[in-house]
Amino acid sequence: MSLSSPCSSNYVTCAGREIHYTEWGAHHERTVIAWHGLARTGRDMDELAEHLSERYRVICPDTIGRGLSQWSPLPAQEYCLSFYAQIALELFDQLQIEKAHWVGTSMGGAIGTVCASGLMQPRMQQRIQSLTLNDNAPQLAEAAVGRIRAYAGSPPAFDTVLELEAFFRQVYKPYGWLSDAQWRRLTETSTRRLPDGRVTPHYDPAMVQQFISHPDDYLIWDHYDAITVPVLCLRGADSDLVPRETTDAMMHRGPGAAGLTQVVEISGCGHAPALNVPDQLERVEAFIDAAH
């Protein structure tokens, strides 16, 4: 897919930290927030943003410590869902977003969950119109969290960008099908060069402090139970992070008990679907359209 829709690169200060985001379809009134996963950047949402930007304004932030956003000088205190929710609140305020649909991959889904619940930031609850969780749930498999923590906390370094691309193709194989051009863009938008000239993934390795200083940060059933808007959970059929028992439980409590939650399994993917092929893009769009 060629990315032909206009987008802009922007910076804003939220919670005292510089946050980078891309904006697509800026002239539209209806807004979608597309938030990336743990060790990724907002550019992962390019295909989704382009697809939705025909009718929606789409904001794709880089979380603090990722991509072009500032790294935290206080990793233990700021790399956690409560601080991410504060950043989200201030992002909404500064961009004058009254209401938005939220699409979040992995960590981005957890941030959306705590925002939609209003338990951390009460002013956010009425501003989230719908919540799409891309292979995320209120409880995650501990073994998979350990796997992610292991590779994210010790990012490798390579002499060449092509070697880093080969690493990304291996570690993110569960994303499902990506074209060669998409793999190249994924690599180039998440690469930084070290002082010794080698290249490494573009994030602060200290962001794994979240799992050390906030070990239960992703156990958020209380937040899920407080959600009163429609929820779409896209579960990678081969996901090791989101067990089927968890998505089954989601259907029977909180918004699920109210008939507001739907779970769709995405074949050929694990953690997490790349949101880059027509079927996935159209499912998300249809859900957002129906949630108005």
- Please give the radius of gyration of the chain, using alpha carbons only, rounded to the nearest integer: 17
Q: Helices in the chain by DSSP H: which ranges?
A: 46-52, 75-78, 81-94, 107-117, 142-153, 161-171, 180-188, 209-213, 221-225, 244-250, 278-290
pLDDT of residue 1: 37
Does residue 56 surpass a pLDDT of 60?
yes
CATH architecture type of domain 8-146+214-290: 3-Layer(aba) Sandwich (3.40)
pTM of the shown model:
0.97
- Residues 91-129 have pLDDT tens digits of 999 999 999 999 999 999 999 999 999 999 999 999 999
- Residues 270-290 have pLDDT tens digits of 999 999 999 999 999 999 999
Dig out the tokens for 23 from the structure.
């904006």
How many beta carbons lie within 10 A of that of residue 133, not counting itself?
A: 29
Reference 45, options 36, 56, 53, 37; nearest CA is: 36
- Give 33: exposed, middle or buried? Use CB within 10 Å, 0-12, 13-18, 19+: buried
Does residue 150 surpass a pLDDT of 90?
no
Phi, psi torsion values for 88, nearest 5 degrees: -60, -45
Rounded to an integer, the average pLDDT of 138-155 is 89
Phi, psi torsion values for 217, nearest 5 degrees: -60, -30
